[in-house]
């Protein structure tokens, strides 16, 4: 169930999917962000209800970018394939326009193939920054 | 990939796992909470680093219960099996000792069989309550 036990093919496909998302975010390319997700994807961000579908996901990321996210780093910790989907546990870092780290935490992504490409299907993350009581 | 397409067996096993966790939380039974998770489980809560292993997970929940969580409701939205694990998307509600709702949101759980029982293996959730800017 660890990355090393997973097929290399899956790992490089997921790496590619993550690189694409990182690139889309840093280019503020909402159309490309939407393409990283399956058509019926869901994002589950803190402070919002479930965000369903590419259109709504694009709007969510548009808001997050406007709020000061300039770039992201993603690091896969674990990847497991099962059936027509795969699940990934990873860590993220978000940076602002000045390069400073604005947030860091961890995530789970359920990946699914669509049109022969692995895309984010379910996406949830939590900050590791301790919160006011 | 929806609950209705999933085998009834898996759904009832996951329902049972969720009922057990809800019961353990409302009884403040830390040993039973630990038993709901696989031995190498991880919980990914906001405001904390990844919480790894049953001992640390028991301590995390002990803290959450001390902070005012008295009971939880869980509602499976989606469940999909793949390989030796399954992933679930759901909604949660947390209530305080006076019965009032203290939080609500959504979660993803990766379930895994251990000792013939489905247990929480990876567990992450986010509040849907909007947060101060």
d(CA A9, CA A113): 13
Residues 92-111 of A with CB under 8 A from B: 105-108, 110
Query: pLDDT grade, residue B22 (50/70/90)?
Result: very high
User: In what helix (H) or strand (E) does residue B92 lie, and over which residues does it extend?
Assistant: strand B85-95
What does the angle CA A110 – CA B4 – CA A14 come to, to the nearest 5 degrees? 15
Residues of chain A with pLDDT under 50: 1-5
- The pair phi, psi for residue B45, each rounded to 5°, is -80, 150
DSSP code at position A6:
S
Per-residue burial over B113-129, b = 16 or more CB atoms within 10 Å of its CB, e = otherwise:
eeeeebbbbbbbbbbbe
Please give the distance of CA B82 from its chain centroid, rounded to a whole number: 19
What ipTM describes this predicted complex? Answer: 0.92
Task: For residue B84, list chain A residues with Cβ-Cβ distance below 8 A.
Answer: 1, 82
Query: pLDDT grade, residue B6 (50/70/90)?
Result: low
* Residue B129 contacts A, CB cutoff 8 Å: yes
- Torsion over CA: A37, A29, A47, B54 (sign): positive
d(CA A109, CA A55): 19
Query: pLDDT grade, residue B133 (50/70/90)?
Result: low
For B80-120, the pLDDT digits (tens) are 998 789 999 999 999 999 989 999 999 999 999 999 999 99
Residues 16-35 of A with CB under 8 A from B: none
CB atoms A47 and B83 under 8 Å: no
* Residue A46 contacts B, CB cutoff 8 Å: yes
What proportion of chain B, given as a percentage, has pLDDT over 90?
86
CB atoms B126 and A45 under 8 Å: yes
Among B89, B78, B75, B99, residue whose Cα is nearest residue B125: B89
* Residue A129 contacts B, CB cutoff 8 Å: yes
For B37-69, the pLDDT digits (tens) are 999 999 999 999 999 999 999 999 999 999 999
- What pLDDT, on the 0 to 100 scale, is given for residue A3? 44
pTM above 0.90, yes or no: yes
Per-residue three-class SS string for B1-58: CCHHHCCHHHHHHHHHHHHHHHHHHHCCCHHHHHHHEEEEEEECCCCCCCEECHHHHH
H-only helix segments in chain A = 8-26, 30-36, 54-66
DSSP code at position B68:
T
CB atoms A44 and B85 under 8 Å: no
Among A125, A131, A121, A124, residue whose Cα is nearest residue A54: A121
d(CA A48, CA B126): 9
* Residue B26 predicted with pLDDT over 50: yes
* Residue B5 predicted with pLDDT over 90: no
The pair of structure tokens assigned to A82 is 């099962």
């Amino acid at each position: 169930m660890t990355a090393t036990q997973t097929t290399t093919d899956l790992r490089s496909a997921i790496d590619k999917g993550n690189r694409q998302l990182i690139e889309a975010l840093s280019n503020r390319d909402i159309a490309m962000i939407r393409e990283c997700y399956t058509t019926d994807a869901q994002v589950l961000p803190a402070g919002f209800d479930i965000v369903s579908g590419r259109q709504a996901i694009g709007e969510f990321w548009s808001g997050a970018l406007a709020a000061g996210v300039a770039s992201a780093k993603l690091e896969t910790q674990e990847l497991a394939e099962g059936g027509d989907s795969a699940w990934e546990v990873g860590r993220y870092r978000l940076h602002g326009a000045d390069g400073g780290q604005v947030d860091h935490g961890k995530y789970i992504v359920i990946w699914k193939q669509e049109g022969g490409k692995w895309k984010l299907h379910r996406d949830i993350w939590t900050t590791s920054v301790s919160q006011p009581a």
